[in-house]
Structure 1
Amino acid sequence: MSISRRGLFGLAGGLAAASVAGCGFAPTNSGGAANNSLTFRWWGGEARNKAYQSALQIFTQKNGTKVDPQFSGYDGYFNKLNTEFAGGNPPDLFQMDTALVSTYAAKGVLTDLGSFIPNTIHLDTLYSAVRGAGVVDGKTYGVPSGSGYAPVLYDKTVFEQAKIPVPADTWTWDDFGRIAGEMSKAMGQGKYGALDASKDDSGALQPWLRQRGKDLYTGDGKLGFTKDDLAEWFALWDKLRKAGAICPPEMLSNTDSATGNHPLISGQIAMTTGWGLAQMAPLTQHALDIVVVPRGSNGKTGQALSGGVLLCIPAKSKNPEAAAKVIDLFISDVDAIKAMGMSRGIPPSGKALETLTPTLTASDKRDVTYAQYVADEVAKDGLPNAPTAPPGYNDAKTALDSAAKQVAFGKMSIPDAVAQYFRDAEAALQGAK
């Protein structure tokens, strides 16, 4: 199961990143005495808001510290936060986009949580693969709230109608191409076996790279792969495109939102990356299911578990000690874990998984049990944890989207598109430092 695209995959963070980069913040410690209240800011829908407030009531009951909840939608969230940072009055604790933590950490406005670990924040409670989601340059600036991975979501009903076996957990990229081609033929004209995922960085390209011992980025914020790697990646999808196994580029305009217009839901494709059951299952009467992204020839999944959204403490928090206790509540307290449920994604620990599983719906149980399977496979892979997305990530992601579409629409050769991507992405990463 994937965390929502806004929380894990495609992020609407470009404006936020640009805005904070221009603020010229200086790191400042609060220096204030601990008090009996704090403010906590987050974004989310009604279900998440209710869950957070229930958990915060539990915190107040157990710790005696009052929490002032401040919540909104995602749009404008970081603009308001940046204004408060610039004015020196940010909330004491706030929810952070995983892809933006490096940008904020680089400006010195976040508290290094190392002084609270392990005595206050029990980070070892979490799966080892997600603990580093908020780590920048060896320091922990955010604590993850969930776990997620890169799945392939498929329409089981359509597979059954076509009398084609569904993808297996052991499938490879060769299997993917074969199955997508078979499904395209079975589904008929104007329908395709799979989504064109050539532009999907974390949902497809990253596991493909990690299967080869590389990654999207290095620990020091540079590209983690070569031009030859990207050329091979584009060639893989170009071959599938020309064979009619994947959708044409015109169909990609409806793939960034979980709506009835998504080609999987509208019946135009049979498989897609970037989404999980929680987002898509309610949109269709068909039976949907999930499988890992195809494995490499070495059998590795290449999965990089995500930490979902993070919780961070500003350097100017007026009550960092209490804020740290709130963070620990979400990862350690059974009552708070129950209150939050699945509102922030797949449970990030065995403790949370064990706590929640008895009360989950059938589809949620499928999500979490499969996530446990993937976590076990990640451990078998033995690969390093993926580096935190560096400053400039959003512009680098946009550069991949542009280059991939230039190839898909036939407007640019693969070598020229690769050159364009490296030029734009390297400039974005370097300029953000």
Structure 2
Amino acid sequence: MAQHLSRRGFLGIAGAGVASAALAGCGFAPPSSSGTGGGNNALTFRWWGGNARNDAYQKAVKIFTDKTGIAVTTQYSGYDGYFDKLNTEFAGGNPPDIFQMDTALVSTYAGRNVLTDLGTYVPGTIGLDTLYAPVRGAGTVKGKTYGVPSGSGNAPVLYDKTLFDQLKISPPTNDWTWQDFGTIATEVSKAWGPDKYGALDASKDHSGALQPWLRQRGKDLYTADQTLGFGPDDLTEWFTFWDGLRKAGAICPPTLLSNTDAATGNHPFITGQIAMTTGWGLAQMQPLTQHELKLVVVPRANGKTGQAPSGGVLLCIPVKSKNPEGAAKLINFFLNDDDAIKTMKLQRGLPPSDKAKNLLAPTATAPEKADMDFGEYVAAQVAKDALPTAPTAPPGYGDVKTALDSAAKQVAFGKMSIAAGVTQFFSDAKTALANAK
């Protein structure tokens, strides 16, 4: 999922509370809201997500209010424009009391001094001890906790098994390679017919495709000293791979990519236009279709999966939250309350603790159980890979993702050559990282 954290957005945050009017025209649809505010005890809570996540949050928040008496006004939207809207509110000094954050962006926001150090509430109000140790530090920046993880994530490929069966094509398996990926995608496209494609064009997929591809080759997105961990030759090879698939008709055209950042009925995987996609698990996608869906790991290279498990999404409290104590209670509720765990299920990632896993396993649906089993498989593969832990994404990460998204799409639309796209990316990415220091 792409995160759009524009430099102009953070110019507003850094500007002593002066709102950036430029962000107002970024095409963000006003978020939906529900709930009843009232009094100093109330909270405003914002997140992004598809319908299933939104419904789960709404039910969980109602349980929280019933148990604590703290009223919560909920604000939610699609992914596009989420951070632009948030940046505008930070700049104006009126952010929500608690909000959902991308794990990889927390260092950027923490570096701007707009997030509350949650150490004040740990362990008194927020109990982190139930979390798996590798997940626990996902929201930590320079030794301080700025966000609490909600789950763990990996880099899967989701495929439509019903379609593969109908086409009588052997589906991918967990030992497949990038060459296998191209062969299968091409075969599906040819057998399926006009305007149908074997796979999503994932050339812009920063962490769900490019990162494992790099790690399989002994590199990574970033280095420990927070610089880019790969070079022009690597990105040239990456873009060239996808360009070949594009010319073969094996992957979707760039015009279909606008609906791929949320698990909704508009995603081309759900509308029946592509047979394989990166970025999503079964719990999010299976309820949207009658077709049977299955998971495999991103294709391998050099025998390695290159997986870099993440902390899922985080919950953070702004420095200017009007009710930080109440927000901390809500974070702990999502983390440790039995009813909250059962209500949210896997909508924010795989279970981040044995407690969550044990609560969910007995009543897990088939897709949820498959997601959890897949997570355990990936964990075993990570141990087998024996690769270094992926370095924490540096401040400016969001703009680097935007730079990759832009360059990949320019190449896909034929507006830039591969060489020009590579040059543009490294120019934009290095500027973004420099400006974020």
Q: Which category describes the TM-score, using the shorter chain as reference length?
A: 0.7 to 0.9
Distance 2:183 2:289 in 1: 26
Distance 2:268 2:89 in 1: 41
Aligned residue in 2 for 1:346: 350
Distance 1:161 1:94 in 2: 43
Q: CA deviation at 1:421?
A: 0.6
Which range moves more in the overlay, 328-337 or 86-95? 86-95
- Establish whether residue 237 from structure 1 lines up as the match of residue 229 from structure 2: no
Q: Residue by residue, what CA displacement relative to the aligned partner does 1:331-380 show, whole Å, maximum 9, x if unpaired?
A: 23434422433343432222201111222222222223222322333343
- Establish whether residue 310 from structure 1 lines up as the match of residue 314 from structure 2: yes
Contact 1:42/1:71, CA 8 A, preserved across alignment: yes
Aligned residue in 2 for 1:374: 378
Aligned partner letter, 1:356: L
Aligned residue among 67, 70, 81 for 1:67: 70
Q: CA deviation at 1:420?
A: 0.9
Distance 2:163 2:87 in 1: 47
Q: CA deviation at 1:120?
A: 5.6
Aligned residue in 1 for 2:292: 287
Normalization by structure 1: what TM-score?
Answer: 0.82
Distance 2:289 2:380 in 1: 30
Aligned residue in 2 for 1:33: none
- Establish whether residue 148 from structure 1 lines up as the match of residue 153 from structure 2: yes
Distance 1:82 1:208 in 2: 32
Q: CA deviation at 1:257?
A: 4.2
Contact 2:6/2:84, CA 8 A, preserved across alignment: no
Structure 1 residues 352-363: aligned runs within 5 Å: 352-363=356-367
Distance 2:373 2:77 in 1: 29
Aligned residue among 47, 63, 69 for 1:54: 63
Q: Structure 1 residues 142 and 160, CA, compared in 2 at 3 Å: closer, same or farther?
A: same
- SS state at 1:386 partner: coil
Distance 1:426 1:181 in 2: 35
Aligned residue in 2 for 1:194: 199
Q: Residue by residue, what CA displacement relative to the aligned partner does 1:80-106 show, whole Å, maximum 9, x if unpaired?
A: 766775676766644334344223211
Aligned residue among 425, 428, 431 for 1:427: 431
Distance 2:162 2:233 in 1: 38
Q: CA deviation at 1:129?
A: 3.7
Distance 1:90 1:410 in 2: 40
Aligned partner letter, 2:110: A
Distance 2:355 2:341 in 1: 9
Contact 2:174/2:296, CA 8 A, preserved across alignment: yes
Q: Structure 1 residues 398 and 320, CA, compared in 2 at 3 Å: closer, same or farther?
A: closer
Aligned partner letter, 2:294: D
Q: Structure 1 residues 126 and 295, CA, compared in 2 at 3 Å: closer, same or farther?
A: farther
Percent of residue pairs bearing the same amino acid type: 66
Q: Residue by residue, what CA displacement relative to the aligned partner does 1:184-229 show, whole Å, maximum 9, x if unpaired?
A: 2322344332222111112211111122232223344432211111
Aligned partner letter, 1:206: Q
Distance 2:401 2:299 in 1: 22
Contact 2:185/2:199, CA 8 A, preserved across alignment: yes
- SS state at 2:138 partner: helix
Which range moves more in the overlay, 217-226 or 75-84? 75-84
Distance 1:273 1:281 in 2: 14
Distance 2:430 2:89 in 1: 31
Give the length in aligned residue pairs. Answer: 409
Aligned residue in 1 for 2:276: 271
- SS state at 1:234 partner: helix
Aligned residue in 2 for 1:3: none
Q: Structure 1 residues 117 and 389, CA, compared in 2 at 3 Å: closer, same or farther?
A: same
Aligned residue in 2 for 1:331: 335
Contact 2:43/2:326, CA 8 A, preserved across alignment: no
Structure 1 residues 69-84: aligned runs within 5 Å: 69-74=72-77
Q: CA deviation at 1:415?
A: 2.1
Aligned residue among 7, 13, 21 for 1:21: 13
* Runs (5+) with no aligned partner, structure 2: 18-39, 49-53
* Runs (5+) with no aligned partner, structure 1: 1-8, 26-35, 61-65
Distance 1:258 1:323 in 2: 27
Q: Structure 1 residues 287 and 335, CA, compared in 2 at 3 Å: closer, same or farther?
A: closer
Contact 1:51/1:341, CA 8 A, preserved across alignment: no
Distance 1:46 1:323 in 2: 20
Contact 2:64/2:330, CA 8 A, preserved across alignment: no
Tell me which of the two structures has the higher relative contact order, counting C-alpha pairs closer than 8 angstroms and 6 or more residues apart: 1
Distance 1:92 1:82 in 2: 14
Aligned residue in 2 for 1:96: 101
Distance 1:204 1:182 in 2: 21
Normalization by structure 2: what TM-score?
Answer: 0.81
- Establish whether residue 402 from structure 1 lines up as the match of residue 406 from structure 2: yes
Contact 2:4/2:83, CA 8 A, preserved across alignment: no
Contact 2:3/2:83, CA 8 A, preserved across alignment: no
Distance 2:57 2:157 in 1: 25
Contact 2:220/2:390, CA 8 A, preserved across alignment: yes
Aligned residue in 2 for 1:5: none
Contact 2:13/2:87, CA 8 A, preserved across alignment: no
Q: Residue by residue, what CA displacement relative to the aligned partner does 1:239-287 show, whole Å, maximum 9, x if unpaired?
A: 3233333233344344344444433233332211123323332333322
- Establish whether residue 11 from structure 1 lines up as the match of residue 7 from structure 2: no
Q: Structure 1 residues 135 and 359, CA, compared in 2 at 3 Å: closer, same or farther?
A: same
Q: Structure 1 residues 259 and 389, CA, compared in 2 at 3 Å: closer, same or farther?
A: same
Distance 1:145 1:414 in 2: 38
Say what the alpha-carbon RMSD is for the aligned residues: 3.2
Q: CA deviation at 1:142?
A: 0.6
